Structure 1
Amino acid sequence: GGRKSGCLALILDIAKGIPFVALAYSFFGLPEVTVMIVAVSAILGSAFSPLLRFRGGKSLAITFGVLLALPHHEMLITFAAFMLLGFLFIETDAWTVMLGPTGSLVYLAITGASYWELLFVLSVLVILAAKHHNELKAIPRCKVRFIGWLQSRRYRI
């Protein structure tokens, strides 16, 4: 597949995380703790699918879908912002992935989020660490990708 099929696959993978969380929160009006359990279950189901002998995917796209469906958008915003920072400054992709939930967890702890939100983000961190454990064995190396990217385009006006 090319870019079109890759983008379609990404959109569909993100979309897998939205329906059950949105139904739990918006349609059924379930309590926050139950919605968080549904959200973690969606990510766990993707990461450790029984249909695939508990060898699912890396679950990053479905995590974004779940975060899109949750009513607390600051989790999504901080998760994405810290992953963007990781993309710009960390060479190893697995460590970039870890920066998203770690930064989000620190932000939520500082701003006084509910225990359920903190437990949810901690659960996401543990799931993603379990799925990326082989790549996390490498020591993270800093690389200023953004500056290199800017320098490569300086004379292309």
Structure 2
Amino acid sequence: MLGWAIILGFIAGSLPFSVWVGHLLLKRDIRQLGDGNPGATNVFRAGNWKAGILALCLDYIKGLIPVATAYWGGGIRDERIILIFMAPLLGHQFSPFLKFRGGKGIATTFGAWTGLTLWEGPCILGLFLIFFYWFLDQDAWSIVLGMTGLLFYWVIRGTKTEVYGAALFNLWFVLWTHRMALGGKIRLKRHYGIFKGFISTRL
């Protein structure tokens, strides 16, 4: 069962829903927009929020279903689930439908964490991402530090070995997928509004 779960998880993750949504609904190749990433963000950049939400949900589901099916349905509740957690993320990154090129897998990551921990993982990760997106001027660093924050959360909270393993793999995954954008110093944003009078410096 484990082997089939990994294979099916990889296949599910490799389905380039955002690219297909772009072709079918927008008649555009979203990889020609923005950063060229075949993910939901570029569907939103194409100017159609409804198509963007559809792509986002589909990318989320392809991470959710393989992990949830194995963990809650198949009773794989030990270190083996880490391999199944990895499968849709690696499928998204190395999609055979896109000549083994893929996206950064943020929506798929949230789906996989939902499948493994229900609300807890995605909510904590989301809070960390909101925090770092608010203060940092670089999306790549925000994602890496958000994932690092989730790992430390699990360490402080105390959890199962498979959750630690999934968090360590996920941190490696975001470091790999964002490696080209992590150069240079971390820059802070300038904020006003509710932080009136606060002016951040640039590091």
Q: Which of the residues 13, 20, 23 maps onto 2:66?
A: 20
* TM-score normalised by the chain length of structure 1: 0.85
Q: Indicate the residue corresponding to 2:90 in structure 1.
A: 44
Cα offsets for 1:37-81 (capped at 9, x unmatched):
211111111112233333111111100111111135432222111
| 1:143 aligns to 2:189 (yes or no) | yes
Q: Indicate the residue corresponding to 2:170 in structure 1.
A: 124
Cα offsets for 1:71-119 (capped at 9, x unmatched):
3543222211110101111110111111221001111112222332122
Q: Indicate the residue corresponding to 2:51 in structure 1.
A: 5
Identify if the C-alpha distance between structure 1 residues 8 and 149 changes in structure 2 by more than 3 Å, giving closer, same or farther. farther
Q: Indicate the residue corresponding to 2:201 in structure 1.
A: none
Unaligned runs of 5+ in 1: 152-157
Instruction: Give the letter for the 1:4 counterpart.
Output: K
Instruction: Give the letter for the 2:177 counterpart.
Output: K
Distance 1:71 1:140 in 2: 31
Q: Indicate the residue corresponding to 1:59 in structure 2.
A: 105
Kept in 1, the 8 Å contact 2:81–2:162? The answer is no
Q: Which of the residues 99, 114, 130 maps onto 2:160?
A: 114
Instruction: Give the letter for the 2:69 counterpart.
Output: L
Q: Which of the residues 52, 71, 88 maps onto 2:117?
A: 71
Kept in 2, the 8 Å contact 1:16–1:65? The answer is yes
Identify if the C-alpha distance between structure 1 residues 51 and 27 changes in structure 2 by more than 3 Å, giving closer, same or farther. same
* Higher relative contact order (CA closer than 8 Å, sequence separation 6+): 1
* TM-score normalised by the chain length of structure 2: 0.67
Deviates more, 1:122-131 or 1:41-50: 41-50
Q: Percent identity?
A: 34
Unaligned runs of 5+ in 2: 1-45, 197-203
Kept in 2, the 8 Å contact 1:101–1:122? The answer is no
1:120, distance to aligned residue in structure 2 (A): 1.0
1:144, distance to aligned residue in structure 2 (A): 4.5
Distance 2:74 2:162 in 1: 19
1:23, distance to aligned residue in structure 2 (A): 0.9
| 1:29 aligns to 2:66 (yes or no) | no
Instruction: Give the letter for the 1:131 counterpart.
Output: T
Q: Which of the residues 112, 127, 132 maps onto 1:86?
A: 132
Kept in 2, the 8 Å contact 1:43–1:63? The answer is yes
